[in-house]
Amino acid sequence: MESGATGELGAGPGIPRAAWLARINHVTLGLCEAILVVMMTLIMAEVIARSFFSVSLQFVDEYASYTLVWVTFLGMSVALHDGALFRVGIIYDRLSPLAQTALQVLWDLLALVFSSVSAWACLRQVLSSYERDLVAPTVIATPLWIPQIVMPIGSALVVLVMLVITATDIVRLSRGGR
């Protein structure tokens, strides 16, 4: 449950806190919460419509699925920022602080590369959907780039958080892992 040495990014002796990133994280978390409320409202409306009026709201499944994608992609950076991801510590915990930090920097760099490639691929997907004017095969025919736009945004937020984590861990490594 760590990101770097602590659960807070940039938190460490002599390492400035990334207050600007904390603000972005706070806004992103609020957006995730609002989207979850929309999702729950849509699903409750569908349940009520089916139970009491024997009617189905045709768009609810589609849009509830989109909200789930939005919460997932936006929530990745929030979880990463807040140190809410887990680590299997059976080997890691037995290493010296310097070796732990070196391993963390290696992990950070790999995760940064992966998240950067993911952000690029997601952006290409959205641009392709937009250029080809693709729509969902549903009654509403939602243009697919609209629900997909969160994929490169969320991935870019992960890249941003990973940049700060990586920089923080490199500073820690240069200080002997502390």
Tell me the whole-structure pTM to 2 decimals: 0.85
Q: Kindly state whether residue 2 falls inside one of the protein's structural domains.
A: no
- Could you give the angle at the alpha carbon of 70 between the alpha carbons of 87 and 123, nearest 5°? 90
The larger pLDDT score, comparing residue 3 to residue 47, is at 47
Q: 125 is in which domain, residue-wise? A: 19-174
pLDDT above 90 for 177: no
Q: Kindly state whether residue 27 falls inside one of the protein's structural domains.
A: yes
Of 107, 105, 115, 119, whose CA–CA distance to 167 is shortest? 105
Q: Copy the structure tokens of residue 167.
A: 């920089």
Rounded Cα–Cα distance for residues 118 and 111 (Å)? 10
Q: Copy the structure tokens of residue 116.
A: 């950067």
Q: Kindly state whether residue 8 falls inside one of the protein's structural domains.
A: no
Q: Kindly state whether residue 11 falls inside one of the protein's structural domains.
A: no
On average, the pLDDT of the chain sits at 89
Q: Kindly state whether residue 69 falls inside one of the protein's structural domains.
A: yes
Q: Kindly state whether residue 57 falls inside one of the protein's structural domains.
A: yes
pLDDT of 14 reads 44
| 8 Å CB contact between 63 and 3 | no
Exposed, middle or buried: residue 56 (CB in 10 Å: 0-12, 13-18, 19+)?
A: exposed
Mean pLDDT, range 111-127, rounded to an integer: 97
The larger pLDDT score, comparing residue 24 to residue 9, is at 24
pLDDT above 70 for 87: yes
Mean pLDDT, range 143-147, rounded to an integer: 97
Rounded Cα–Cα distance for residues 47 and 52 (Å)? 8
pLDDT digits (tens, 9 = 90+) for 46-77: 999 999 999 999 899 999 999 999 999 999 99
Phi, psi at residue 82, to the nearest 5°?
Answer: -85, 5
Q: How many domains does the chain have?
A: 1
Q: Kindly state whether residue 75 falls inside one of the protein's structural domains.
A: yes
Q: Kindly state whether residue 4 falls inside one of the protein's structural domains.
A: no
- Number of neighbouring beta carbons within 10 Å of residue 101: 24
